[in-house]
Amino acid sequence: MAGSVTSVVSGTVAAAGAADRRERRLLCVDLDGTLVATDTLWESLLVLARNDLLSLWRVPLWLMRGRSALKQEIGGRVRLNVAALPYREEVLAYLWAQKQAGRRIVLATAADQGVARAIAGHLGLFSDVLASDGKTSIKAGRKLEAVRELAGDQGFDYVGDSRADLPLWRASGRALMVAPSASLLRQARRVCPVQQVVCPAPSRVVEVLRAIRVHQWVKNVLLFVPMVLAHKASDVDTLLRVLAAFFSFSFAASCVYLVNDLLDLESDRAHPHKRLRPFAAGRLQPAVGVVLAPLLLIVGLVVGWVWVSAAFGQMIVLYLVLTTLYSKYFKKKPILDVLLLAGLYTYRVLAGTIAASVPASPWLLAFSIFFFLSLAFIKRYADLVAMKGDSGEGLPGRGYAVHDVDLLRSLGTSAGYLSVLVLALYINSGQVAALYPQPRVLWLICPLLLYWLSRVWFIAHRGRMSHDPIVFSIKDPVSYLVGLIIVGLIVLASYGTQVLRLWG
């Protein structure tokens, strides 16, 4: 009996000692994809592209000297804002708990030592940093050697996220994994037990669809407007041509969205809504956007140039030029930015006339300019209202201050009401009488638009508007109802006489 008790006590003490030794093991943490939900090399490269685009031609020359040299060259030319990076909160909470338990924690990364030390200094978590120094890349086998040398007989645990970390997990004897794919999880289980999985990997397909903003393609429905108003919607060839133009414009616009998001990562992360975008939040790696953007551009140009017309293809090229100017210059200039935004909406209507081979109506273009100018002002106004509760003075990356809200509201509502005035003048013109048998029915559209514009501004004033009024309209039942009534009135004005004859 005494021997049995002694055996149990000895086993308990041995288990406690083993647990204590495990807790004293060196804890090593990877950086890219593990501690931060992004890749610091790609982030630094994008900062370089934003600040000094012409210097990118040197990147292949730096890469010929090795990835470590490339990282050092880029790191020496840009300063990454480490405070704004998308840190994984679950990983940070785990590391702080381990630090409070007395464990020694080391940042072990293939990133450049300048970036790694800046992050270590910002967090105050790590006792040591193992990173690439411009000559040697601390990755896979070399990282394992460096970690073993630092750990000595103490042993180590390793927190990582990629296949390059498999040798370290094997040597550690257990895997601490962050956002692993299903295949990586299977591979890790073949080499060692998987003790803990933090941050399940998001669906890449879903995040790609969010990044290219498929929901924003609704803006390109404007390409159908000239065809419909010219009463050519029943022409199959015209309809197919405009449909191809819709997808061409959508692919090109998605390319622009990706480029803008990649170049605006820092300012987006300071924004209450944009910080949730896939690249800003780290749910999608920057490399995905760098590859996807040119593919979308090529597809958009081919579809527009070949399936629609050369003239429409040229419209796509000009659209890319205008959006690039907006991203690089005009979006930081107050008033000019909203004028160009309104112009880009109107440009879609003009592109629709090219795709449908119908003349551009001056009335339609004038209405579009004022109407979309009002929506562009709403976009900036809603952003400022959202920033009111923050300590900032204005919008990051924009030229507006919080106290500009009253001026933007005044300018925006005036532009919206002017668009309704243009519509009223058009309804009273001779062109409407020639196109619509019952033109007086169209007058009912004016109060409907006045109601819709006033309501949207009212919602924005109360701080309940999303950062984009188009996105808001897609989710708003009242907007659908108003739109259906307007379509019904246009149909009644077009075919009301025939209906009355049938009833008579």
Terminal CA-CA length for the chain: 109
pLDDT of the residue at 263 = 87
pLDDT of the residue at 17 = 39
pLDDT of the residue at 12 = 31
- Helices (H), ranges, 303-335: 310-328
Close Cβ partners of 178 (under 8 Å, ≥ 6 residues apart)? 30, 33, 34, 88, 91, 159, 160, 161, 197, 198, 199
Q: How confident is the model at residue 141 (pLDDT cuts 50, 70, 90)?
A: confident
Which secondary-structure segment (H or E) carries 234? none
Share the mean pLDDT of the chain: 86
Least confident of 120-129, 220-229, 434-443: 434-443
For the segment 454-466, what is each residue's pLDDT rounded down to a tens digit? 999 999 988 888 6
Q: Are 267 and 50 a contacting pair, CB within 8 Å?
A: no
Which secondary-structure segment (H or E) carries 159? strand 156-160
Mean pLDDT of 222-247: 91
pLDDT of the residue at 404 = 81
For the segment 25-48, what is each residue's pLDDT rounded down to a tens digit? 999 999 999 999 999 999 999 999
Q: How confident is the model at residue 395 (pLDDT cuts 50, 70, 90)?
A: low
In a domain, 15, yes or no: no
pLDDT of the residue at 501 = 52
In a domain, 12, yes or no: no
- Identify the bridge partners of residue 106 per DSSP, sorted by sequence position: 28, 128
Mean pLDDT of 263-273: 84
30 shares a domain with 154: yes
User: Which residues form the domain of 191?
Assistant: 20-201
Strand order in the sheet with 194-198: 128-132, 105-112, 26-29, 156-160, 175-178, 194-198
pLDDT of the residue at 99 = 93
Calpha distance 406→500 (Å, rounded): 49
| Torsion over CA: 11, 12, 17, 22 (sign) | positive
Domain count, the chain: 2
In a domain, 32, yes or no: yes
155 shares a domain with 234: no
231 shares a domain with 100: no
pLDDT of the residue at 390 = 52
In a domain, 8, yes or no: no
Calpha distance 320→332 (Å, rounded): 18
User: pLDDT over 90 for what percent of the chain?
Assistant: 54
pLDDT of the residue at 9 = 28
- pLDDT over 70 (residue 443): yes
- pLDDT over 70 (residue 22): no
Give me the CATH number covering residue 233: 1.10.600
pLDDT of the residue at 1 = 40
User: For strand 194-198 and strand 175-178, is the pairing parallel, antiparallel, or unpaired?
Assistant: parallel
User: pLDDT over 70 for what percent of the chain?
Assistant: 91
pLDDT of the residue at 394 = 56
- pLDDT over 70 (residue 217): yes
* Residue where a domain terminates, one of 178, 201, 224: 201
3-state secondary structure of 464: coil
358 shares a domain with 273: yes
pLDDT of the residue at 477 = 92
Residue with tokens 């760098």: 290
- pLDDT over 70 (residue 282): yes
Calpha distance 306→167 (Å, rounded): 51
Token pair in block for residue 38: 């992004």
254 shares a domain with 195: no
465 shares a domain with 393: yes
Least confident of 172-176, 234-238, 498-502: 498-502
Q: How confident is the model at residue 393 (pLDDT cuts 50, 70, 90)?
A: low
Nearest residue to 211 (alpha-carbon basis) of 271, 278, 280, 266:
278
Q: How confident is the model at residue 51 (pLDDT cuts 50, 70, 90)?
A: confident
173 shares a domain with 230: no
pLDDT of the residue at 402 = 77
- pLDDT over 80 (residue 3): no
In a domain, 7, yes or no: no
Least confident of 13-27, 258-272, 309-323: 13-27
Calpha distance 74→489 (Å, rounded): 60
In a domain, 13, yes or no: no
151 shares a domain with 241: no
For the whole model, what pTM was predicted? 0.80
Q: Are 426 and 304 a contacting pair, CB within 8 Å?
A: no
Mean pLDDT of 80-99: 93
Calpha distance 68→136 (Å, rounded): 6
219 shares a domain with 196: no
Give me the CATH number covering residue 108: 3.40.50.1000
pLDDT of the residue at 4 = 38
Q: How confident is the model at residue 245 (pLDDT cuts 50, 70, 90)?
A: very high
In a domain, 451, yes or no: yes
* Residue where a domain terminates, one of 201, 231, 265: 201
For the segment 193-208, what is each residue's pLDDT rounded down to a tens digit? 988 777 777 788 899 9
Mean pLDDT of 136-157: 88
Q: How confident is the model at residue 101 (pLDDT cuts 50, 70, 90)?
A: very high
- pLDDT over 50 (residue 412): yes
**DSSP conformational letter for 440:** G
Q: How confident is the model at residue 127 (pLDDT cuts 50, 70, 90)?
A: very high
pLDDT of the residue at 207 = 92
450 shares a domain with 320: yes
* Residue where a domain terminates, one of 177, 201, 225: 201
In a domain, 445, yes or no: yes
pLDDT of the residue at 388 = 64
pLDDT of the residue at 319 = 93
pLDDT of the residue at 63 = 87
Mean pLDDT of 441-461: 94
pLDDT of the residue at 8 = 30
pLDDT of the residue at 13 = 30
410 shares a domain with 330: yes
Q: How confident is the model at residue 14 (pLDDT cuts 50, 70, 90)?
A: very low
Which is higher by pLDDT, 360 or 297?
Answer: 297
* Helical packing angle, 445-461 and 405-427, nearest 10°: 170
227 shares a domain with 167: no
Calpha distance 285→35 (Å, rounded): 14
- pLDDT over 70 (residue 74): yes
Which secondary-structure segment (H or E) carries 45? helix 40-51
